[in-house]
Structure 1
Amino acid sequence: MTSSTAVRIPEPLRSYLADACLAPLWAAMRSKLERNRLSPTGIVRVELDEEGTSRLGGLLGTRPAAGTVSVRLPLLDHALRVSAAQCGLLTAVTDLTGSPLTDRVLTRQRQSAARADLWARIDARLADAGLAAASWVPTWLEGLRTTGMLTRAGSDTAWEAADGALRALALLRTLPLHPAEQPDVPPREWQLAELAAHATADGHGLDEGRLAGILVLRAIAAACDIPLPESSAARRRLWERVSVTTDVVSGTVMVWHLNPPGDDPWSTMMRSRSQMHLVTHLTMHELGAASAATLVPPDASVHGCENPQVLQATARQRIPTTLICPSGNPAGAGWELLGRLRRDGARLSYHGDFDWPGLAIAARIFALGAAPWRMGSSDYRDALTSIRGDHALGLSGPPTPSHWDPALATSMTRAGVAIHEEALLPLLLNDLYTAAHNGS
């Protein structure tokens, strides 16, 4: 609520009251009234010089001394009304300070009610999306409250952004955002603009810098229990964790010795790269341009690994067998390549890290039809007895089931040790040598 009456005190009284010596009085009155529900009650103490006290005394009919003066608001209000001003204290202060007064108590109450309504609507939307019980939600909400980003945006803008973000989170039916999802179900792949159009009715609604996009990224970071990304590249990788591709040229999947059998220019180029012993980084853009090409002959053997070090060692030793590496959780290009290989009839075998994120990635790749490559409970137990002590890392994070071999997750929980692919490099390279020698 504001006092908006545009009344001007008549001259010469206005010039008398607007003198600089009385400016501290009107500023103090304004502050008191705005904190006092615009009610002219109470007392204000203010420092005035001799000229200021003289002018105030002329208005009130008193003779206050210079220095700290106590002014009762009801008396000043009455004095103004019976003077040539012919108006009350609120109108006079509005005129003399240059802008309408604001009932700050009422404003705070309305803002508080709007904030409470916003959080209630967010809670309701989380429940509708099946996310109310997700373990990351309290961390996400606390971060939003602590930063004040929604409060600063204003209630309407904040809800529009939160609504779009929550709709996007509901569409991203994938771990770790949705605890009820099965880890061995391949996630749906989204282009960021497509997801934004579905969630916000604006293809740019989740773009970098847009509040809705920031809210979704904060949720993904909370769900993955990682720090907030500080660079564009880190934000792109965070989107890729939930199978969202921000563009068709940034996310890649590495391939070694991929020899498409066709005579088209792209297939010929890929075979030439294999002959030159070059690793290739495939993007969604390139895979789209080569959409008509057959990637492998039917029943061809293709191995997959999680970490680039495995592919790098394979390339260094020039092992002539096809190996693909998505570098962790596959980006859109990785999922596209895996799907294409399966449709072309490839026999996929995959190995990843023996840690909880590694098991989650493996489960989704196995769901596409890939076979485990040394990813069983016996492989894990053998690795425990053979690796060096500095390669044994502590397991962290929530456990992930291993549906292809339930005993694996049980063994890992019991041992509490994570084993990354690098620790098993000699064994994996030997498998690749054998596959190349056998022509499989």
Structure 2
Amino acid sequence: MNPSTAAPALPERTRRYLSHAGLAPLWTAVRTKLERAGLAVTGTVAVTLEDDGAALLSGLLGRTITAGRVRVSLPVLDQVLRGSAAEAGLVTVVAQLTGGDLVDRRAAREQTRASWAGIWQRLDAALASAGLAGAAWAPAFVEGVRRSGILTRAGIDAASTAIPRFAAVLRECAAAEVFDTAVVPRPGWELAELAGRCLGDAHGLDDGELTASLLLRAAAAAFGVATPGTAEERRELWIRLGVTPDLVSGTALVFRLRPPGTGPWPEMMRARAGMGLATHLTLHELRGAALGERLAAPGAEVFACENPQVLQAAARAGVTTPMVCLAGNPSLAAWEVVRRLVDDGARVRYHGDFDWPGVAIAARLFSIGVEPWRMRTGDYVEAAAALAADSVLTLTGTPVPTPWEPELMEAMRRHDLAIHEETLLPALLEDLGADDASPS
């Protein structure tokens, strides 16, 4: 409020009288009523007053008010205050007594509705600016954005910023005709390059950015696929747009993996396997030098573990069996290695932690053809019975189904013990054919 137009403060004696705790319920109720009614001084409020509040209101209105449920006319209260020492109307007095200017909530709602109408118009304009307003998938995209709530959760300001940025990237992609074909295009940009070129910010399309979410939703609608919900799905959709995301950070750790091909990459991998060296494979390598190569011969047995300590112990024990380590929740590179091994006809067997996150990872792996490796109910019960007293950890988090063996979930709930993979290391090393199955 402009200081020159601000209402004068209530006289101190009047303020003390009106701000007495006994009248607080009245002013709270009046403020709520006024804000909901567009600050119109109409109607009444019903409020419960104690003896002191009733006495104070009696003095203010000039008539006897009995304690209990009281109905007060706002126009009468407004007139009384204007003729009192307050010399101000009800809206002004309530604002000073309740800590700040009143808000015309009706007008605010109308303003919000108008602002959001403008947001949806700008989203349509973004499609039109890229020549995509008439695309068959455009209505489904807009409706999907509306239903998802990603813009409303972000807020007006964030949405207003993101949509023009989305439009800039959309125009660049549309100019390259990436929405016109169901065939995966040749890479046209690095992700940071596209972001820098269109947005002046190399991180403007990073995971979690609202602009990136809008673009990927548009791509999903255009290609007729589900909105990506995982990092892997988002990465695949970027590639389908001709955008090369980060292919070098996430890795899959492999050991004694011997691809059967005759090219330089399989030969290099077999040489490393022969030397007993662990190898970190990136998506860049898997989709470059290793593209089109088999990772294992049909029928080969490959053991997969969750914890790098298991692979390290296997290497130290002289294991020659091929292994893959997923290092917890698998990276995209690890998923690709496992999928390709399964597709190559290899028998992939997985062991992980007996806790809820661990069995969730196992369930996803088993759903694509991986087999359990000491991940049965009997394995869990035996390990639980052998736990040392100082190694007991209770399960935390939400129980997760174990579809490969439902009894396992029930056994875990019953025993309520988390058993980490390293606990079973001697048995795992024995399965791997270690020269010395005891961990050192």
The residue type equivalent to 1:103 in the other structure is: D
Does the CA contact (< 8 Å) of 1:191 and 1:246 recur in 2? yes
The answer for the alignment partner of 1:149 in structure 2 is 150
The residue type equivalent to 1:244 in the other structure is: V
Instruction: Report the Cα distance in structure 2 between the residues aligned to 1:143 and 1:175, rounded to whole angstroms.
Output: 24
Higher RCO (CA-CA < 8 Å; seq separation 6+): 1
The answer for the alignment partner of 1:12 in structure 2 is 13
| 1:126 Cα deviation after fit | 0.6
Q: Give the TM-score normalised by the residue count of structure 1.
A: 0.56
The answer for the alignment partner of 2:73 in structure 1 is 72
The answer for the alignment partner of 1:197 in structure 2 is 196
| 1:59 Cα deviation after fit | 0.8
Instruction: Report the Cα distance in structure 2 between the residues aligned to 1:183 and 1:231, rounded to whole angstroms.
Output: 21
- Cα 1:82–1:71 change in 2 (3 A) is same
| 1:64 Cα deviation after fit | 2.4
Instruction: Report the Cα distance in structure 2 between the residues aligned to 1:95 and 1:169, rounded to whole angstroms.
Output: 51
Q: Deviations over 1:304-338 (max 9, x none)?
A: 76xx8x66447969xxxxxxxxxxxxx9xxxxxxx
Instruction: Report the Cα distance in structure 1 between the residues aligned to 2:8 and 2:95, rounded to whole angstroms.
Output: 8
SS at match of 2:131: coil
Does the CA contact (< 8 Å) of 1:252 and 1:284 recur in 2? no
- Cα 1:259–1:185 change in 2 (3 A) is closer
| 1:9 Cα deviation after fit | 1.5
Structure 1: runs of 5 or more not aligned: 261-268, 289-294, 296-301, 318-330, 332-351, 353-440
| 1:280 Cα deviation after fit | 9.7
| 1:73 Cα deviation after fit | 1.3
Does the CA contact (< 8 Å) of 2:260 and 2:297 recur in 1? no
SS at match of 2:47: strand
Instruction: Report the Cα distance in structure 1 between the residues aligned to 2:262 and 2:10, rounded to whole angstroms.
Output: 87
- Cα 1:249–1:185 change in 2 (3 A) is closer
Q: Identify which range, 132-141 or 159-168, moves more after superposition.
A: 132-141
Structure 2: runs of 5 or more not aligned: 253-258, 302-331, 333-342, 344-440
Equivalent residue runs for 1:99-138 within 5 Å: 99-138=100-139
Instruction: Report the Cα distance in structure 1 between the residues aligned to 2:228 and 2:45, rounded to whole angstroms.
Output: 50
The answer for the alignment partner of 2:407 in structure 1 is none
Does the CA contact (< 8 Å) of 2:182 and 2:223 recur in 1? no
| 1:54 Cα deviation after fit | 1.7
- Cα 1:45–1:108 change in 2 (3 A) is same
The residue type equivalent to 1:171 in the other structure is: E
Q: Deviations over 1:213-239 (max 9, x none)?
A: 222233333444444444434433332
Instruction: Report the Cα distance in structure 2 between the residues aligned to 1:213 and 1:79, rounded to whole angstroms.
Output: 58
Does the CA contact (< 8 Å) of 2:195 and 2:205 recur in 1? yes
Does the CA contact (< 8 Å) of 2:185 and 2:241 recur in 1? no
The answer for the alignment partner of 1:95 in structure 2 is 96
The residue type equivalent to 2:104 in the other structure is: D
SS at match of 2:217: helix
Instruction: Report the Cα distance in structure 2 between the residues aligned to 1:258 and 1:98, rounded to whole angstroms.
Output: 80
- Cα 1:12–1:147 change in 2 (3 A) is farther
Instruction: Report the Cα distance in structure 2 between the residues aligned to 1:221 and 1:170, rounded to whole angstroms.
Output: 16
Q: Give the TM-score normalised by the residue count of structure 2.
A: 0.56
Instruction: Report the Cα distance in structure 2 between the residues aligned to 1:72 and 1:2, rounded to whole angstroms.
Output: 30
The answer for the alignment partner of 2:409 in structure 1 is none
The answer for the alignment partner of 2:59 in structure 1 is 58
Equivalent residue runs for 1:212-231 within 5 Å: 212-231=211-230
The residue type equivalent to 1:204 in the other structure is: H
The residue type equivalent to 1:273 in the other structure is: M
| 1:96 Cα deviation after fit | 0.6
The answer for the alignment partner of 1:249 in structure 2 is 248
The answer for the alignment partner of 2:39 in structure 1 is 38
Does the CA contact (< 8 Å) of 1:2 and 1:101 recur in 2? no
| 1:21 Cα deviation after fit | 1.6
| 1:6 Cα deviation after fit | 5.7
- Cα 1:282–1:108 change in 2 (3 A) is closer
SS at match of 1:172: helix
What is the aligned length?
A: 294
Instruction: Report the Cα distance in structure 2 between the residues aligned to 1:84 and 1:271, rounded to whole angstroms.
Output: 97
The residue type equivalent to 1:92 in the other structure is: V
- Cα 1:185–1:211 change in 2 (3 A) is closer
The answer for the alignment partner of 1:428 in structure 2 is none
The answer for the alignment partner of 2:269 in structure 1 is 273
Does the CA contact (< 8 Å) of 1:2 and 1:103 recur in 2? no
- Cα 1:29–1:281 change in 2 (3 A) is same
Q: Identify which range, 144-153 or 225-234, moves more after superposition.
A: 225-234
The answer for the alignment partner of 1:163 in structure 2 is 164
SS at match of 1:134: coil
Instruction: Report the Cα distance in structure 2 between the residues aligned to 1:18 and 1:113, rounded to whole angstroms.
Output: 38
The answer for the alignment partner of 1:404 in structure 2 is none
Does the CA contact (< 8 Å) of 2:235 and 2:245 recur in 1? yes
Instruction: Report the Cα distance in structure 2 between the residues aligned to 1:198 and 1:248, rounded to whole angstroms.
Output: 20
Instruction: Report the Cα distance in structure 2 between the residues aligned to 1:140 and 1:213, rounded to whole angstroms.
Output: 14
